[in-house]
């Protein structure tokens, strides 16, 4: 019995929060308010006892629902996802994403019914499923080579999109792709969100962009090895998230419309077709790179004291390289990513390369479960001390693609997050990857002693 509760400063009311137990545990738990816990504690002190009958229904199904608006060319699809699961009331997380995606589907379908010429080139697939596992299952069956399945070209995830900003406390956010490979998806996403907010001045609302954190379904598509461009639309922070206070009174109808409009516009641009002007997309990309370079100069200037200025110089080098790659990519209409496998090493040198040995999307939770108990406890403490460390870990993991050494992974992640990562924390998080057995080090190709710790077989439980 625990009180991970939330006290609403305005009303003084207290709401039970969500507790998470390990998968397959024989334990059960109760989440209560602190007042209830105090009461229970008083009774326990007086040696009161309680008999509790727990019934767990492990047969309850959670559906994977999907539908598609067929495109004209039958090639790789654009996926839009919203997760169905979560303890109630879960109004914003994630009934809001589910409802907004239904709205997107209805709007795009009726637009097409009115005007056949509005059909996109690529199929847009809508996916409502339990978070992570549902999308993973659908991807697994959909991309089966035996059935001619193709990996999606892009994914747009809607998770916590309806927040009333005034009460929940966080802005509307575009969570970018991990920026390991160039893609116009984040520039276009930020452009449509900017336009949506510019055309809906009331109620007032803020929006912004954030670096890849990978805490929802888009993480399944974001691994750069998988050749898919993925972004998420969301709000953060939300002071009511994962508590009994995430109820419909925290949802703002105008914000729902903003989210649905932005998601629909983004999907249409990525899906391509007569309605999309690629020169306009190129202009958006060009303006975005100019802004990003200016931002990199600002961040670099603020960190000139780190490593004698080396971090700032690295950040500027990476920003310039990324801008050049993105502008070059945008020369080819309809392209949302380069062909896979063309990525260069981020840092030259003869140090061992770090390589993940799982196939398919990364399952970060299973990776953490693969760690020895002591390492897992230490990692939990690191994440509890600073929630941003989870995002750092997931950024590290997807960069373990055999082209970078340890330093290269840390540097590239810190540039994507636009902040230096403290050396001790970086070392500890990297070590966690190795402890899980999912990541190994091997000598760069051509050097003496290649394959020092080469692993041919993926660790147990990694399949699928
Ligand atoms: Zn959630």
Is pTM beyond 0.85? Reply is yes
Tens digits of per-residue pLDDT, 229-255? 999 999 999 999 999 999 999 999 999
Report whether pLDDT(175) > 70: yes
Please report the pLDDT score of residue 445 as a whole number: 58
| β-strand pairing of 78-83 with 14-15 | unpaired
Q: What is the mean pLDDT of residues 297-301?
A: 98
3-state secondary structure the chain: CECCCEECCCCCCEECECCCCCCCCCCCCCECCHHHHHHHHHHHHCCCCCCCCCCCCCCCCCCCEEEEECCCCCCCCEEEEEECCCCCCCHHHHHHHHHHHHHHHHHHHHHHHHCHHHCECCCEEEEEECCCHHHHHHHHHHCCHHHCCCCCCEEEEECCCCECHHHHCCCEEEECCCCCCCCCHHHHHHHHHHHHHHHCCCCCCCEEEECCCCCCCCHHHHCHHHCCEEEEEEECCCCCCCECCCCHHHECHHHHHHHHHHHHHHHHHHHCECCCCHHHHHHHHHHHHHHHHHHHHHHHHHCCCHHHHHHHHHHHHHHHHHHHHHHHHCCCCCCCCCCCCCCCCCCCCCCCEEEECCCCCCCHHHHHHCCCHHHHHHHHHHHHHCCHHHHHHHHHHHHCEEEECHHHHHHHHHHHHCCCCCHHHHHHHHHHHHHHCCEEEECCCCCCCCCCCCCCCCCCCCCC
Cβ-based neighbours of 335, under 8 Å, separated by 6 or more: 184, 329
Please report how many Cα atoms fall inside a 13 Å half-sphere around the Cα of residue 297, on the Cβ side: 7
Residue bearing the bigger pLDDT, 447 or 102: 102
Please report the pLDDT score of residue 349 as a whole number: 56
Report whether pLDDT(170) > 80: yes
Q: What is the mean pLDDT of residues 353-382?
A: 90
Side-by-side strand order, sheet with 154-158 = 65-69, 124-129, 78-83, 154-158, 229-235, 172-175, 207-210
Report whether pLDDT(150) > 90: no
| Peptide bond preceding 237 in cis form (omega within 30 of 0) | yes
| β-strand pairing of 154-158 with 229-235 | parallel
Please report the pLDDT score of residue 10 as a whole number: 80
| 365 Cα–ligand 1 center, Å | 14
Please report the pLDDT score of residue 341 as a whole number: 61
Please report the pLDDT score of residue 26 as a whole number: 82
Q: Which long-range contacts (CB under 8 A, 24 or more apart) does 186-189 make?
A: 186/231, 186/288, 187/284, 187/285, 187/287, 187/288, 187/289, 187/326, 188/266, 188/269, 188/270, 188/281, 188/284, 188/285, 189/156, 189/231, 189/233, 189/262, 189/266
Report whether pLDDT(446) > 70: no
Please report the pLDDT score of residue 68 as a whole number: 95
How does residue 389 score in pLDDT terms, banded at 50, 70 and 90?
Answer: very high
| 451 Cα–ligand 1 center, Å | 40
Structure tokens at 151: 């990996």
| 131 Cα–ligand 1 center, Å | 9
| 130 Cα–ligand 1 center, Å | 11
Please report the pLDDT score of residue 435 as a whole number: 95
Report whether pLDDT(97) > 90: yes
Please report the pLDDT score of residue 448 as a whole number: 43
Structure tokens at 246: 């995430």
Please report how many Cα atoms fall inside a 13 Å half-sphere around the Cα of residue 296, on the Cβ side: 22
Residue environment code for 400-424, b if the CB has 16+ CB neighbours within 10 A, otherwise e:
bbbbbbbebbbbbbbbbbbbbbeee
| 76 Cα–ligand 1 center, Å | 29
Residue bearing the bigger pLDDT, 283 or 227: 283
Report whether pLDDT(191) > 90: yes
| 56 Cα–ligand 1 center, Å | 22
| 264 Cα–ligand 1 center, Å | 23
The angle subtended at Cα 277 by Cα 199 and Cα 114, nearest 5°, is 75
> What distance in Å separates the CA atoms of residue 276 and residue 383, rounded to the nearest whole number?
42
Q: What is the mean pLDDT of residues 43-67?
A: 90
Mean per-residue pLDDT of the chain = 90
Please report the pLDDT score of residue 444 as a whole number: 63
Contact 148, 142 (CB under 8 A): no
| 232 Cα–ligand 1 center, Å | 13
| 95 Cα–ligand 1 center, Å | 11
| 6 Cα–ligand 1 center, Å | 16
> What distance in Å separates the CA atoms of residue 266 and residue 158, rounded to the nearest whole number?
12
| 289 Cα–ligand 1 center, Å | 32
| 85 Cα–ligand 1 center, Å | 8
Q: What is the mean pLDDT of residues 263-277?
A: 94
Q: What is the mean pLDDT of residues 292-317?
A: 97
49: left (phi over 0), alpha (psi -120 to 50) or beta: beta
| 446 Cα–ligand 1 center, Å | 45
Query: Closest by alpha carbon to 27, among 60, 56, 62, 69?
Result: 56
φ and ψ at residue 369, rounded to 5 degrees: -60, -25
Report whether pLDDT(450) > 80: no
Tens digits of per-residue pLDDT, 70-86? 999 878 999 999 999 88
**Ligand 1 is an ion; residues with CB less than 5 A from it:** 93
270: left (phi over 0), alpha (psi -120 to 50) or beta: alpha
Tens digits of per-residue pLDDT, 17-52? 998 887 778 888 899 999 999 999 999 999 999 998
| 324 Cα–ligand 1 center, Å | 36
């Amino acid at each position: 019995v625990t009180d991970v509760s939330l006290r609403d400063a305005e009303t003084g009311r207290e709401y039970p929060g969500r507790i998470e137990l390990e998968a397959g545990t024989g334990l059960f738990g109760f989440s209560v308010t602190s007042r209830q816990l105090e009461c229970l504690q008083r009774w326990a002190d007086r040696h009161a006892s309680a008999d509790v009958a727990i019934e767990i229904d492990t047969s309850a199904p959670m559906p994977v629902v999907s539908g598609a608006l067929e495109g004209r060319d039958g090639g790789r699809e654009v996926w839009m996802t919203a997760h169905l699961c979560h303890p109630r009331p879960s109004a914003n997380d994630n009934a809001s994403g589910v409802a907004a995606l239904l709205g997107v589907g209805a709007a795009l379908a009726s637009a097409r019914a009115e005007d056949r010429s509005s059909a996109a080139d690529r199929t847009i697939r809508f996916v409502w499923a339990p978070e992570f596992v549902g999308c993973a299952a659908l991807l697994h069956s959909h991309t089966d080579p035996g059935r001619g399945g193709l990996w999606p070209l892009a994914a747009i995830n809607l998770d916590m999109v309806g927040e009333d900003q005034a009460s929940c406390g966080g802005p509307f956010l575009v969570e970018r792709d991990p920026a390991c490979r160039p893609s116009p998806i984040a520039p276009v996403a930020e452009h449509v969100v900017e336009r949506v907010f510019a055309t809906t001045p009331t109620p007032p609302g803020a929006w912004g962009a954030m670096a890849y954190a990978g805490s929802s379904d888009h993480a399944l598509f974001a691994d750069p090895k998988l050749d898919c461009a993925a972004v998420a639309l969301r709000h953060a922070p939300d002071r009511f998230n994962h508590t009994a206070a995430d109820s419909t009174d925290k949802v703002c109808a105008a914000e729902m419309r903003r989210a649905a409009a932005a998601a629909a516009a983004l999907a249409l641009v990525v899906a391509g077709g007569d309605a999309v002007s690629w020169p306009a997309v190129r202009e958006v990309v060009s303006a975005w790179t100019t802004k990003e370079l200016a931002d990199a100069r600002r961040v670099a200037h603020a960190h000139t004291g780190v490593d004698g200025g080396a971090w700032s110089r690295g950040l500027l080098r990476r920003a310039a390289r990324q801008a050049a790659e993105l502008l070059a990519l945008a020369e080819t209409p309809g392209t949302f990513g380069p062909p896979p496998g063309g990525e260069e090493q981020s840092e030259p040198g003869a140090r061992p390369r770090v390589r993940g040995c799982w196939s398919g999307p990364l399952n970060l939770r299973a990776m953490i479960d693969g760690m020895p108990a002591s390492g897992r406890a230490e990692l939990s403490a690191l994440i509890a001390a600073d929630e941003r460390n989870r995002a750092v870990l997931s950024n590290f993991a997807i960069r373990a693609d055999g082209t970078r050494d340890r330093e290269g992974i840390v540097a590239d992640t810190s540039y994507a997050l636009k902040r230096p990562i403290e050396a001790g924390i970086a070392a500890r998080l990297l070590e966690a990857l190795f402890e899980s057995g999912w990541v190994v080090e091997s000598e760069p190709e051509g050097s003496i002693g290649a394959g020092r710790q080469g692993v041919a077989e993926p660790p147990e439980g990694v399949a699928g």
